[in-house]
């Protein structure tokens, strides 16, 4: 399963390892403290650490009842034991942070969520299904379930990657490397709720809601794609609103040029928070899209369409502008004269301590965040970065954020040490934290040490602020552990 990197005098770098990986979706039912019933839906990406253990990021959200807007982001660790050639037993633990819809009856405490599970899976080719026993608990609050049934649908795949030591070299691969996505996109736009839209108090929504987010996209044929998008409210008094959707789409070249393309896209997922009435949280979305692929690699898009809450009172046409940055090289056979430059990506788990978070009721307290972080080098000096996470300790349960931006780093110094800095912007809200309309920014200076060839430990100091007004400003301390790997840059 494993292959060594090409020697330094080889004409190009080769994929160093191909680790097993999987994408899993789970469905877990539970009764809430206020007597209602809901179900948590999830999507998790798991990469094998060895033949038995896997680890990776995931997101859970309420998808049943009137609880739309409950989200958590975190990581799952999983151990598997093979029983036969097509069955295995899995034990897993998800540790995440988030919440939503906090009331006197629903309390999420600091936001920490634990979900242990034991399940039996049956494999059919690359796909597998499972049934198991699980619990969902927010230890700092009163939201917790008894032991109940859970259901799993997953697909096994590979995680091919180059060595981080090959950064800057010319490389080839016969398959996508790393997470397998071709683009990461940054989105900014607004929803204009219709007259039928209401908040959770039954009042009409009269203001436009500005949103910012990001999307990962993979192209499966010429002009055809699928992807995963996450966004949050950044303006319009709906701070705390969050949505996560899966999308498919198709566009076609127009005016005789393959760079200008017109098409459409469909999306389905979960959304809620910010006092918007999205019912169970299920969202449907559809609309046209115009894409221009620049000669320099990035693409720009203009999307429009309509968002429909399946069981709630939220209906809104939307418009957004999109900047897409290429992540991976389109796969080519080794014998062809195409290839790309190996660049380092990092996927990690982060903990951030913010000692002076201001709340809407006037108090100031310390809050600890847990987040999924991702970075991608554009050159040896510059990189792009993104974070998504929630409060996990303190009293800001249901507070969540998503940030993206740019960073600069030094060449390796003593023992591989690097230093650098980054500036991120994005959306945040919920948990009673003061964030104005929801637009926030974060800046940080950091130092990073290589633990092994692929593991990186990073510590940083910086500040967190709101972009509109001075409703929030606090220093922060950041500690992260990330897995580094090489992919091809177009």
Tokens of 313: 């009172």
Identical fold between 17-160 and 340-489: yes
Instruction: State how far the Cα of 43 lies from the Cα of 56, in Å rounded to an integer.
Output: 11
Beta bridge partners, 98, equal 72
pLDDT beyond 90 at 490:
no
Instruction: State how far the Cα of 445 lies from the Cα of 462, in Å rounded to an integer.
Output: 6
Q: Is the pTM of this model over 0.75?
A: yes
At 8, the pLDDT band (50, 70, 90 cuts) reads very low
Query: β-pairing, 242-254 with 87-99?
Result: unpaired
* Residue-by-residue DSSP string for 52-89: SEEEEEEEEEE-SSS-TT-EEEEEEEEEEEEEETTEEE
For residues 113-126, give the mean pLDDT: 96
At 10, the pLDDT band (50, 70, 90 cuts) reads low
pLDDT beyond 50 at 33:
yes
SS3 state of residue 362: coil
Instruction: State how far the Cα of 439 lies from the Cα of 78, in Å rounded to an integer.
Output: 35
Q: What is the pLDDT of residue 4?
A: 36
Q: What is the pLDDT of residue 215?
A: 92
Q: What is the pLDDT of residue 6?
A: 41
Cα 271-276-282 angle, rounded to 5 deg: 30
Cα 190 from chain centroid (whole Å): 20
Q: What's the CATH architecture for 183-326?
A: Beta Barrel (2.40)
Yes or no: say if 306 and 318 are a contact pair by the CB < 8 Å rule: yes
Q: What is the mean pLDDT of the chain?
A: 89
Matching residue, tokens 């310390």: 366
Pick the CATH number of 340-489 from 3.40.50.300, 2.40.160.20, 3.40.1000.10, 2.60.40.60: 2.40.160.20
Cα 461 from chain centroid (whole Å): 23
Show the beta-strand stretches assigned E in 174-314: 183-191, 209-221, 224-235, 242-254, 257-272, 282-293, 299-309
Query: Greater confidence, 91 or 234?
Result: 91
Q: Where are the domains of the chain?
A: 17-160, 183-326, 340-489
At 274, the pLDDT band (50, 70, 90 cuts) reads confident
Q: What is the pLDDT of residue 222?
A: 84
The region that residue 100 occupies, defined by phi over 0 for left and psi between -120 and 50 for alpha, beta otherwise, is left
Give per-residue pLDDT as tens, 75-88: 999 999 999 999 99
Yes or no: say if 127 and 158 are a contact pair by the CB < 8 Å rule: no
Radius of gyration of the chain (CA): 22
Q: What's the CATH architecture for 17-160?
A: Beta Barrel (2.40)
Give per-residue pLDDT as tens, 206-238: 889 999 889 999 998 888 999 999 998 888 878
Q: What is the pLDDT of residue 103?
A: 75
Largest CA distance in the chain: 69
Instruction: State how far the Cα of 405 lies from the Cα of 443, in Å rounded to an integer.
Output: 10
* Residue-by-residue DSSP string for 81-133: EEEETTEEEEEEEEEEEEE----SS---TT-EEEEEEEEEEEEETTEEEEEEE
pLDDT beyond 50 at 96:
yes
Beta bridge partners, 97, equal 73, 112
Give per-residue pLDDT as tens, 135-186: 999 998 899 988 999 999 999 998 989 999 998 888 888 778 888 888 889 8
For residues 472-482, give the mean pLDDT: 95
Give per-residue pLDDT as tens, 310-366: 999 999 999 999 999 887 755 554 445 456 889 999 999 999 999 999 998 889 999
pLDDT beyond 90 at 102:
no
Alpha-carbon dihedral sign for residues 322, 326, 328, 332: positive
Show the beta-strand stretches assigned E in 310-339: 315-326
């Amino acid at each position: 399963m494993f292959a060594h990197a090409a020697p330094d005098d080889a004409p190009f770098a080769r994929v160093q390892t191909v680790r097993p990986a999987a994408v899993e979706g789970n469905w877990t039912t539970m009764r809430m403290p206020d007597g209602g019933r809901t179900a948590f839906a999830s999507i998790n990406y798991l990469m094998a650490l060895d033949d038995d253990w896997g680890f990776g990021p995931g997101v859970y959200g309420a998808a049943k009842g009137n609880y739309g807007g409950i989200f958590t982001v975190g990581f799952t660790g999983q151990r598997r034991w093979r029983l036969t050639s097509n069955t295995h037993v899995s034990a897993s633990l998800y540790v995440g942070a988030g919440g939503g819809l906090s009331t006197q009856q629903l309390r999420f405490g600091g936001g920490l969520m634990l979900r242990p599970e034991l399940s039996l899976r049956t494999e059919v080719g690359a796909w597998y299904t499972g049934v198991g026993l699980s619990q969902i608990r927010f230890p700092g609050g009163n939201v917790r379930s008894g032991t109940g049934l859970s259901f799993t649908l997953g697909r096994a795949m590979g995680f091919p990657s180059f060595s981080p030591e090959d950064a800057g070299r010319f490389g080839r691969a016969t398959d996508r490397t790393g997470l397998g996505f071709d683009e990461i996109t940054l989105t900014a736009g607004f929803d204009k709720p219709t007259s039928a839209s209401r908040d959770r108090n039954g009042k009409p929504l009269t203001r436009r809601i500005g949103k910012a987010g990001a999307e990962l996209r993979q192209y499966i044929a010429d002009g055809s794609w699928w992807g995963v998008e996450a966004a949050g409210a950044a303006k319009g008094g709906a701070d705390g609103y969050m949505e996560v959707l899966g999308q498919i789409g198709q566009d076609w070249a127009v005016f005789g040029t393959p760079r200008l393309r017109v098409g459409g896209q469909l999306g389905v997922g979960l959304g809620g928070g910010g006092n918007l009435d999205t019912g169970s949280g299920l969202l449907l979305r559809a609309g046209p899209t115009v894409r221009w692929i620049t000669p320099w690699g990035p693409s720009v898009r203009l999307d429009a369409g309509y968002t429909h809450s399946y069981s709630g009172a939220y209906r809104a046409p939307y418009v957004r502008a999109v900047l897409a940055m290429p992540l991976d090289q389109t796969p080519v056979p080794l014998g062809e004269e195409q290839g790309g430059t190996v660049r380092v990506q990092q996927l990690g788990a982060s903990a951030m301590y913010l000692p002076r978070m201001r709340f809407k009721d006037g108090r100031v307290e310390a809050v600890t965040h847990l987040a999924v972080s991702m970075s991608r080098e554009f050159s040896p000096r510059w990189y792009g970065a993104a974070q998504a996470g929630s409060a996990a300790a303190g009293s800001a349960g249901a507070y969540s954020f998503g940030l993206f931006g740019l960073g600069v780093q030094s060449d390796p110094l003593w023992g591989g040490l690097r230093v650098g800095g980054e500036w991120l912007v994005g959306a945040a809200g919920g948990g009673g934290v003061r964030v104005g309309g929801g637009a926030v920014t974060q800046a940080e200076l950091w130092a990073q040490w290589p633990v092994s060839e692929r593991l990186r430990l990073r510590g940083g100091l910086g500040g967190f602020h709101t972009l509109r007004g001075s409703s929030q400003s606090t220093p922060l301390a950041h500690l992260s552990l990330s897995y580094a790997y090489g992919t091809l840059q177009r």
